Structure 1
Amino acid sequence: MKDALQYLQSLVFVGQMYLMMVVIGLAYLPWVLISKEGAYAGCHAYCRWVRWTARWMVGLKTEVRGTPPTGEVIVAAKHQSFLDILMIFGAIPRGRFIMKRQIMYMPVIGQYGLRIGCIPVDRGKRSEAIRKMVADVDKGRLEPGQLIIYPQGTRVAPGVKQPYKVGAGILYKETGQDCVPVATNVGVFWPRIGIMRKPGLAVVEFLPTIPAGLEVADFTARLEQEVEAASDLLLAEAGFTALPEPDAT
């Protein structure tokens, strides 16, 4: 009965979340058409709305730890669900994402993403996507901000191991920017797919900066080690126990 009630609350929460995406998007639209500041304000307002409603509708509290960056840096984050997107973006002043090209065509979120300078790439064409990312980032360097990238390339469920791709390392090298890693445990409470949202404390943690200047391989290895170790600690704090890996023999 308890699970059924939580599912019903989650269903209502998810429904209003997407409804309010449209409502807030339309409310800020006149400002968006005049200034990019309106797009940032609308996106930040939506992030606050979702975090606030999650707290009282499904019992899901959220917490941002560490020091969110304010300068021009790369933010390389663990990605477990839509919630970490909202929490990371909401914590920084001028975030923009490396995003799947398909998102460009989604109502509201696609238009706002392009307005704030998100960079669409085709994940199916790896080398071409990396070249385009570097070129687009280089063109936008006169406008300070925080470029958010997910090094694993997709949402990864808690406890699942997936290698870090080379894109974040190439951006780090080509832009010459520092990188702020981000760990999270949000997938324990807000899964990659499905309706159920669980009560608890979802955390994203901004880790110490990795300074510019490392070789790509060294940077990628350090990024993976630091993000995975910190995320594992957050998962343990949330009471998550990973399933044992299957016996290779």
Structure 2
Amino acid sequence: MLVLRSLLFNVLFYANLSIWLVFIALPSLLLPKRALLAIAVAWAHSSLWLMKVVAGTDYEVTGRENIPATGGMIVAAKHQSFWETFVLVTIFRDPVFILKRELTWIPLFGWCLMKLRMIPVDRGGKARALAQVTRRAKTELRDKGRQLLIFPEGTRRPPGAPPAYKFGVAHIYGELGLPCVPVGLNSGLYWPRRKFLRRPGTIRLEILPPIASGLDKAAFHAELQERIETSSDRLLAVGRAELAARGLDPMANTADRLRQQG
């Protein structure tokens, strides 16, 4: 049943995405950015509804009161699956992502990203790319009051994997002089990376109190990692207990192997 529901969800998810892109988002490229953003939010909600109905996977967001009411900010989130890339769009009022520039080359989808003024980055450019991203971020956050959504580890990490935080987020934090809102989650238990399985249960995402501007970059980097990892580890334990009760804990076999090896 898990395999069949996962397969059905994946088929419907990508079919739904294609329909929204071709029949709704494409015509909206002629409209103002805010109209396309509203469409992106509506698509995200439709995907969440599909996930709940077809895969049996709901979600819960706590800590919304920790989001500053006004002004630009950095939002630094744990990254375990594709799920958070669209859920965060439903939470923050005018988000902007830093993303691989190759994504902007995809027909329709890439055009939408550029219309939404997302920030593409050449991962091979290193220092020059970071400088370009910082300049764009200053414009979008300081001048327009947007929220920069960034994954400090740079790529998806499986649940329980050792943290691998890049220093780029600390550089941006130091250059922008804006608060940073950390986000913990356990999405990888339910929507694992590079797998088609979608496990039933409740994905949990926690918005933590903001880290004020003005910290030393190294101190900020350590504080950010500690907050996100502490939150994500706690949510991971809750999710594992939920899945274990259904006999679906994806980390059980890994833990058993480690104990045997020890």
Q: Which amino acid aligns with 1:64?
A: V
Instruction: Name 2:116's counterpart in structure 1.
Output: 116
Between the aligned partners of 1:145 and 1:32, the Cα distance in structure 2 is 20
Q: Which amino acid aligns with 1:209?
A: P
Aligned to 1:182, the other structure's residue is in SS state: strand
The 5 A counterparts of 1:55-66 are 55-66=52-63
Q: Kindly state the Cα deviation for residue 12 of structure 1 after the two structures are TM-superposed.
A: 1.6
Contact 1:76 1:149 in 2 (8 A): yes
Q: Are 1:82 and 2:82 an aligned pair?
A: yes
Instruction: Name 1:183's counterpart in structure 2.
Output: 184
Aligned to 1:34, the other structure's residue is in SS state: coil
Instruction: Note the alpha carbon deviations across 1:2-61, whole angstroms, 9 max, x for none.
Output: xxx221221121122112112112314333312101210111011101111100101000
Instruction: Name 1:104's counterpart in structure 2.
Output: 104
Between the aligned partners of 2:60 and 2:14, the Cα distance in structure 1 is 22
Instruction: Name 2:204's counterpart in structure 1.
Output: 203
Aligned to 1:204, the other structure's residue is in SS state: strand
Q: Are 1:168 and 2:175 an aligned pair?
A: no
Match for 1:53 among 42, 50, 69? 50
Contact 1:88 1:204 in 2 (8 A): no
Q: Kindly state the Cα deviation for residue 189 of structure 1 after the two structures are TM-superposed.
A: 0.4
Q: Which amino acid aligns with 1:110?
A: G
Instruction: Name 1:13's counterpart in structure 2.
Output: 9
- Number of positions where the alignment pairs a residue of Structure 1 with one of Structure 2: 245
Q: Are 1:22 and 2:18 an aligned pair?
A: yes
Q: Kindly state the Cα deviation for residue 248 of structure 1 after the two structures are TM-superposed.
A: 11
Instruction: Note the alpha carbon deviations across 1:140-187, whole angstroms, 9 max, x for none.
Output: 332221001110010001000132111111111111110000001000
Contact 2:153 2:165 in 1 (8 A): yes
Contact 2:180 2:212 in 1 (8 A): yes
* Change in CA separation of 1:247 and 1:70 when aligned onto 2, cut-off 3 Å: farther
Instruction: Note the alpha carbon deviations across 1:180-216, whole angstroms, 9 max, x for none.
Output: 0000100000011111100011011110000000011
Q: Could you list the runs of 5+ residues in structure 2 that have no partner in the other structure?
A: 241-248
Q: Could you list the runs of 5+ residues in structure 1 that have no partner in the other structure?
A: none
Between the aligned partners of 1:89 and 1:204, the Cα distance in structure 2 is 13
Contact 1:69 1:146 in 2 (8 A): no
Of 155-164 and 139-148, the range deviating more from structure 2: 139-148
Instruction: Name 2:136's counterpart in structure 1.
Output: 136
Instruction: Name 1:213's counterpart in structure 2.
Output: 214
Between the aligned partners of 1:117 and 1:229, the Cα distance in structure 2 is 32
In the superposition, the TM-score normalised over structure 1's length comes to 0.92
Between the aligned partners of 1:53 and 1:248, the Cα distance in structure 2 is 41
Contact 1:22 1:108 in 2 (8 A): no
Instruction: Name 1:226's counterpart in structure 2.
Output: 227
Between the aligned partners of 2:208 and 2:108, the Cα distance in structure 1 is 31
Q: Kindly state the Cα deviation for residue 246 of structure 1 after the two structures are TM-superposed.
A: 9.1
Q: Kindly state the Cα deviation for residue 247 of structure 1 after the two structures are TM-superposed.
A: 11
Of 83-92 and 107-116, the range deviating more from structure 2: 107-116
Of 92-101 and 20-29, the range deviating more from structure 2: 20-29
Contact 2:191 2:197 in 1 (8 A): yes
Contact 2:25 2:112 in 1 (8 A): no
Of 64-73 and 109-118, the range deviating more from structure 2: 64-73
Between the aligned partners of 2:236 and 2:97, the Cα distance in structure 1 is 25
Aligned to 1:208, the other structure's residue is in SS state: coil
Q: Kindly state the Cα deviation for residue 109 of structure 1 after the two structures are TM-superposed.
A: 2.9
Instruction: Name 2:243's counterpart in structure 1.
Output: none
Contact 2:171 2:217 in 1 (8 A): yes
